[in-house]
Amino acid sequence: MSTNTHLAATLAALLGPQGWLSGADANAYSRDWLDRYGATPLGVARPASTEQVAAVVAACHAAGVPVTPQGGNTGLCGGAVLEQPGGVILSLSRMTKIARPDPAAASIEVEAGVVLAALHETLAEDGLIFPMHLGAEGSAQIGGLIATNAGGSHALRYGMMQDLVLGLEVVLPDGQIWNGLRAVQKDNAGYQLRRLFCGAEGTLGVVTRAVLKLYPAPRIRATALLALPDVPSLLAFGKRLRADAGEFISGLEFFCDLGLDMALRHVHGLTYPLTERAPWYLLVEMTAGSPLVPLDALFEATLTAGLETGEVLDGVLAVNETQRAALWRLREEQPEGQRLEGPQLKHDVSVPPGLLDRFIAQACELCEHMLPGVRVNPFGHLGDGNTHFNLSPPLNAPGFGDLAPELGREIGALASALGGSFAAEHGLGRAKVSLADALRATPERALMAAIKQAIDPAQLMNPGAVLHTPGTNFAND
Ligand code: FAD
């Protein structure tokens, strides 16, 4: 019996028919969300407990077989699928337990396979929220969100995933379990290990459980969609809002008319609520814990100033939950609209927020120079300076030819030159490893390789994600 056949038999016996999928049953797990990456796995392990995760990882370690953790498989950089055939995909989808929230500590313990939207629903009755929101929340899992250090639309107020994790339990690459499930904010007992696993993209171990930070549920909201003439106006009005009501802003999301057009044409059930279309749009949400805060009045005063200065052309304030949800859908369906339009190139960059106008102007010019007629669709998180600078090919052109890598390098290099990042919130996965090697200084990449080597000397945890595996020379992007 070959080592791999023996390993498959061991894992099948350990996990049972629900817990070990092979052959055609594994197909649904083997390609990434954008269908760009993936190789045939030996099988998909679906353990139901931390002990089973540890047993799977230990068996793979003993057999020298790579393991790639997989959550909801909504990651946009190809990190949750295999680079080479024959490895094991370890899906956390059966680990979905949610403990009762602890109101005094404002925390909750969950298993890694809990889907984000399910956590939101569970908390709805408790007067508490877990304030992470993103378009993929119906599928993305807590483990995946931690492993990618996800950001989303509320990061401006509540931080990224690393700011929302108090404690972690992780199965290490040799199968040992590290239990760091401490529900405390203050824990300076040496290196901040939990932060190391936030953003490690499954290359240092498998996150199995987490203690997450909760916040009081807002009791009032003001949500508005505004139409604006240009990017400098977006920045000016964003600055004005932050000065007037910064502590209440929970979302400050922008998109452009091209993106709106694609979403309206392709996504069912969207409606545009203003009479005239505009070049740019800003979705503003302000929330407060007390109904005594005059949110609507605060917002309207700032809006009036924005209209008077010409920063804002028009706007609508949601008057009920249905309208609020409809406004948010216009923003959340931006990725789906562009996906349904056809081929696209995604770039997830950040720059210091005050330089967003300069970045967008220079990047548009650069793209037009490289591929005349290219359709640029920047949208994202205004307050974080985080743009999804996504491209669709010129009208009637089938795609980007062989320009994709060069466009990615140039856009990433421009963001870096402005003091930002070529990988703002989606991580590196397999898609941006070469870009990271090119754009980050050698000591930074060497430090990462040293951490990887120290924790996973056999290089079996998700090889090829975040860092090239030593001795290989894959052209990932
Ligand atoms: P997966 O895709 O399954 O995995 C992602 C990475 O994490 C892989 O490297 C995988 O190996 C690793 N991993 C998964 N689970 C574990 C685990 N338990 N332990 C260790 N490693 C693990 N991202 C944002 O940050 N902000 C957004 O606003 C946003 N919007 C999105 C909108 C859409 C429509 C889509 C499709 C994606 C969006 N994303 C966004 C990207 C994506 O949703 C996030 O990266 C999310 O965190 C991935 O979670 P997942 O469970 O799907 O992880």
Q: CA dist 464 to 76, 83, 146, 328, 476, Å?
A: 15, 7, 19, 36, 9
If you take atom 45 of ligand 1, which residue's CA is the nearest one?
75
- pLDDT of res. 319: 94
How many helices and strands (H and E) does the chain possess?
Answer: 17, 17
Question: From the CA atom positions of the chain, what is the Rg in Å?
Answer: 23
Residue 58 predicted with pLDDT over 50:
yes
Residue 107 predicted with pLDDT over 60:
yes
Residue found by looking up tokens 């024959």 in the block? 86
- pLDDT of res. 288: 96
The backbone region for 385, taken as left when phi is positive above 0, alpha when psi lies in -120 to 50, beta otherwise, is left
Distance, CA of 194 to CA of 166 (rounded, Å):
8
pLDDT digits (tens, 9 = 90+) for 381-415: 999 999 999 999 999 898 998 999 999 999 999 99
Q: What is the mean pLDDT of residues 113-129?
A: 95
Q: Which residues contact 28 (CB under 8 A, 6 or more apart)?
A: none
| 327, two tokens | 């406004």
Q: Is 386 in the pocket of ligand 1 (CB under 6 A)?
A: no
- Give 399 Cα–ligand 1 centroid separation in angstroms: 26
Domain ranges of the chain: 107-216, 220-335, 342-435
- pLDDT of res. 476: 41
- pLDDT of res. 50: 98
Atom number of ligand 1 nearest to Cα 79: 9
**Beta partners for residue 473, in sequence order:** none
The values of phi and psi at residue 392, to 5°, are -115, 150
DSSP state of 147: H
End-to-end alpha-carbon separation of the chain, Å?
37
pLDDT digits (tens, 9 = 90+) for 350-390: 999 999 999 999 999 999 999 999 999 999 999 999 999 99
pLDDT digits (tens, 9 = 90+) for 236-283: 999 999 999 999 999 999 999 999 999 999 999 999 999 999 999 999
Three-state secondary-structure class, residue 72: coil
| CB-CB contact of 139 with 73 (8 Å) | yes
| 351, two tokens | 């720059």
Sheet with 375-381, edge to edge strand ranges: 314-317, 220-228, 280-288, 249-256, 375-381, 386-392, 348-350
**Candidate CATH numbers 3.40.50.720, 3.30.70.2190, 1.10.3720.10, 3.30.930.10; the one for domain 220-335:** 3.30.70.2190
- pLDDT of res. 474: 46
Residue found by looking up tokens 């300069």 in the block? 358
- Give 115 Cα–ligand 1 centroid separation in angstroms: 11
| 465, two tokens | 């994600």
Burial 90-118 (b: 16+ CB within 10 A, else e): bbbbbbbebeebeeeebbbbbbbbbbbeb
In the chain, % of residues over pLDDT 90: 95
Q: Is 436 in the pocket of ligand 1 (CB under 6 A)?
A: no
- Give 203 Cα–ligand 1 centroid separation in angstroms: 14
Please name which of 401, 379, 374 lies closest in space to residue 330, comparing C-alpha atoms.
379
| Amino acid at position 118, single letter | A
| 16, two tokens | 């049972």
pLDDT digits (tens, 9 = 90+) for 195-232: 999 999 999 999 999 999 999 999 999 999 999 999 99
Distance, CA of 135 to CA of 345 (rounded, Å):
18
Alpha helices in 3-84 (DSSP H): 3-19, 27-30, 50-63
pLDDT digits (tens, 9 = 90+) for 3-43: 789 999 999 999 999 999 999 999 999 999 989 999 999 99
| CB-CB contact of 245 with 298 (8 Å) | yes
pLDDT digits (tens, 9 = 90+) for 425-455: 999 999 999 999 999 999 999 999 999 999 9
pLDDT digits (tens, 9 = 90+) for 143-175: 999 999 999 999 999 999 999 999 999 999 999
Confidence of residue 1 (pLDDT cuts 50, 70, 90): low
Confidence of residue 88 (pLDDT cuts 50, 70, 90): very high
The values of phi and psi at residue 256, to 5°, are -115, 175
- pLDDT of res. 3: 77
Q: Is 73 in the pocket of ligand 1 (CB under 6 A)?
A: yes
Residue 477 predicted with pLDDT over 60:
no
pLDDT digits (tens, 9 = 90+) for 297-308: 999 999 999 999
| CB-CB contact of 331 with 256 (8 Å) | no
> Domain 342-435 falls in which CATH fold?
Alpha-Beta Plaits (3.30.70)
Question: The domain at 107-216 falls in which architecture?
Answer: 2-Layer Sandwich (3.30)
| Amino acid at position 391, single letter | L
- Give 140 Cα–ligand 1 centroid separation in angstroms: 6
More confident residue, 477 or 2: 2
**Do the domains spanning 220-335 and 342-435 agree at the CATH topology level?**
yes
Best of 31, 70, 333, 421 for a ligand 1 pocket test (most atoms within 8 Å of beta carbon): 70
The whole-chain average pLDDT of the chain stands at: 95
Confidence of residue 470 (pLDDT cuts 50, 70, 90): confident
If you take atom 6 of ligand 1, which residue's CA is the nearest one?
201
Q: Is 151 in the pocket of ligand 1 (CB under 6 A)?
A: yes
| CB-CB contact of 366 with 169 (8 Å) | no
- pLDDT of res. 475: 43
Three-state secondary-structure class, residue 140: coil
Distance, CA of 99 to CA of 422 (rounded, Å):
37
The backbone region for 23, taken as left when phi is positive above 0, alpha when psi lies in -120 to 50, beta otherwise, is left
